[in-house]
Amino acid sequence: MGPSMEITLFNTLTRSKAPLQTVAPGKVGLYTCGPTVYNYLHVGNYRTYVFEDVLRRGLGYLGRDVYHVMNITDVGHLTSDADTGEDKLELGAARTGKTAWEVAEFYTQTFVADSKQLNLLPPHVLCRATDHIPEQIELIQKLEKKGFTYRTSDGIYYDTDKFADYGKLMGASHKEGIKAGARVELSPEKRNPSDFAVWKFSPKDKKRQMEWDSPWGKGFPGWHIECSAMAMRYLGETFDIHCGGVDHVTIHHTNEIAQAEAATGKPFVSVWMHGEFLLMNKAKMAKSAGGFLRLADLEEKGFSPLDYRYLCLTAHYRKQLDFSWEALEGAKTAFRKLSDRAQMLDSEAKGGASDPKLAEFVERFRGRVADDLDMPGALATVWDALKPGALSEAAQLAFLTEADSVLGLGLIKAASDGLSADLQALLDQRAQARTNKDFKASDELRQKLAQAGVLVEDTAQGQRWVRR
Ligand code: AMP
Ligand code: ZN
């Protein structure tokens, strides 16, 4: 990895591409909205998480030190955007005969398991809304003190008229629609159609399974407050990149900005990035629409999670992707060909990788990643590098190993095979030693690992290892 390269990203906020500038040079604070855990996730959700994983890997590959925070929405998600209707988790509990807590835990675990199969790097912090109720209450209190909230019979609401910049993320045309009340029905007690609940009171006639005491009465947090509160808790009041699917632009992220910026008076996020939808039969794949597919449904038809990951890589994240079995079949064929080739090179390629053309391919690949994550372009570069005679086999292997740190397809098995517990323990100790700046200990551990055939290398993202 050479010196860090400029990275250009499309920012929903400015509706344009610009070079990434971060609060701290070389470091990126990244927040990605996690799932609502009242049901299985569908492959549409995973398209967004694959995009975010490629972003994280790409930033790391291009020399940035990424700190990734993702939330788990395990409370208080209502069935409609209008802050009315029933709670999805409590509905899920009624449907399955489990408690709301058990439902949330069950689907959180399925999400973690699926994520592993898709080679999604685990976030540095995976934070549950229910573990951060005090932070959410504190943020609401700040908003209350500054006069941004009002009380109705069912909760505490955010007055969007008080925040001059409300709706800046979605642009003027959308904003007018929302003001006119096109988006949500106007509850008689709401001052503006776009106002939203930050705290909801528990119903008087029904005991909720998830509820907390607050200065305003027993209840639960609104839809959006958890992300503003947890993002600021872990990444600071202003941080670098915040992502989600495009459906989050007009409501969820718009409201996150309103809450955070009203409370702090500072810009919340520099770059907002949104992944386009996976479509099924020309419509957004959605949990509520019935016709949705899980990873397990793909596996039943003989497709691995990584076949699906490959399919995601073939489309730019800002373009819609039509799901079809034919497209998935095509992705599977290409991915298996790539992976077979990688295996062959891994076992047979000999000699040094010092092919003068290697640097050219690497540069081209880096350029595609740095250009707003042009993964179709990056994949095309990979296929070009594998053409007979394009590079020596050793150089092809070196190139694929590098490219796969972004593609995340697990192409080079030997390098991605797990280590024994003993060796892993040495690696962990060494990481700790480096954190403690105990370089003498870290060097000794490096030597021990080398004797056991594991070569350790320090990168901006921490230590990396390969087998000798
Ligand atoms: P949710 O659990 O509904 O908050 O969704 C989790 C993530 O998946 C969010 O970032 C959504 O924007 C995203 N998402 C939902 N449906 C789709 C879809 N059909 N294609 C791509 N991303 C989606
Ligand atoms: Zn969020």
Task: Give pLDDT tens digits for 76-128.
Answer: 655 444 455 567 777 777 777 888 889 899 999 999 999 999 999 999 999 99
Task: Pick the more confident residue, 416 or 361.
Answer: 361
Nearest CA to ligand 1 atom 9: 245
Please state which of the ranges 105-109, 310-314, 343-347 shows the lowest mean pLDDT.
Answer: 343-347
My answer on whether 433 and 353 are in the same domain is: no
Q: How confident is the model at residue 153 (pLDDT cuts 50, 70, 90)?
A: very high
User: In sequence order, which residues have a C-beta less than 8 Å from that of residue 251 and are 6 or more positions away?
Assistant: 81, 183, 196, 224
Using one digit for the tens of pLDDT, what is the confidence trace for 243-273? 999 999 999 999 999 999 999 999 999 999 9
My answer on whether 391 and 457 are in the same domain is: no
Does ligand 1 have an atom closer than 6 angstroms to the CB of 34? no
Structural domains of the chain, count: 3
Does ligand 1 have an atom closer than 6 angstroms to the CB of 149? no
Range of the domain at 348: 325-415
Task: Kindly tell me if the per-residue pLDDT of 446 is higher than 50.
Answer: yes
Does ligand 1 have an atom closer than 6 angstroms to the CB of 58? no
Q: What is the DSSP letter of 162?
A: G
Cα–Cα distance, 465 to 51 (Å, whole number): 25
Does ligand 1 have an atom closer than 6 angstroms to the CB of 55? no
User: In sequence order, which residues have a C-beta less than 8 Å from that of residue 292 and are 6 or more positions away?
Assistant: 42, 43, 44, 280, 285, 286
My answer on whether 375 and 251 are in the same domain is: no
Q: What is the DSSP string of 393-433?
A: HHHHHHHHHHHHHHH-----HHHHSPPPHHHHHHHHHHHHH
My answer on whether 116 and 229 are in the same domain is: yes
Residue 79 vs residues 42, 186, 223, 270, 346: alpha-carbon distances, Å: 18, 16, 10, 30, 50
Using one digit for the tens of pLDDT, what is the confidence trace for 17-49? 999 999 999 999 999 999 999 889 999 999 999
CA-closest candidate to residue 123, choices 248, 14, 256, 30: 30
Residue pair 390/357 in contact by the 8 Å Cβ criterion = yes
My answer on whether 119 and 223 are in the same domain is: yes
Residue pair 358/50 in contact by the 8 Å Cβ criterion = no
pTM as predicted: 0.86
Beta sheet of 219-221, edge-to-edge order: 149-151, 155-158, 196-201, 219-221
My answer on whether 35 and 104 are in the same domain is: yes
Ion ligand 2 residue ranges (Cβ < 5 Å): 33, 227
User: In sequence order, which residues have a C-beta less than 8 Å from that of residue 280 and are 6 or more positions away?
Assistant: 44, 291, 292, 293, 322, 323
The ligand with the least distance to the CA atom of 244 is: 1
Does ligand 1 have an atom closer than 6 angstroms to the CB of 280? no
CA-closest candidate to residue 269, choices 279, 282, 258, 278: 258
Q: Which amino acid is at 208?
A: R
List the beta strands (DSSP E) in 21-123. 27-32, 65-72
My answer on whether 221 and 349 are in the same domain is: no
The ligand with the least distance to the CA atom of 260 is: 2
Cα–Cα distance, 111 to 37 (Å, whole number): 8
Cα 165 to averaged position of ligand 1 atoms, centre (Å)? 26
My answer on whether 132 and 212 are in the same domain is: yes
Cα–Cα distance, 450 to 468 (Å, whole number): 8
Cα–Cα distance, 145 to 157 (Å, whole number): 13
Cα 243 to averaged position of ligand 2 atoms, centre (Å)? 8
Nearest CA to ligand 1 atom 11: 245
| CATH number of the structural domain spanning residue 334 | 1.20.120
φ, ψ at 193 (rounded to 5°): -60, -30
Q: Helix-strand-coil percent breakdown of the chain, rounded to 5?
A: 45, 15, 35
Q: Could you tell me if residue 361 is inside a domain?
A: yes
My answer on whether 395 and 427 are in the same domain is: no
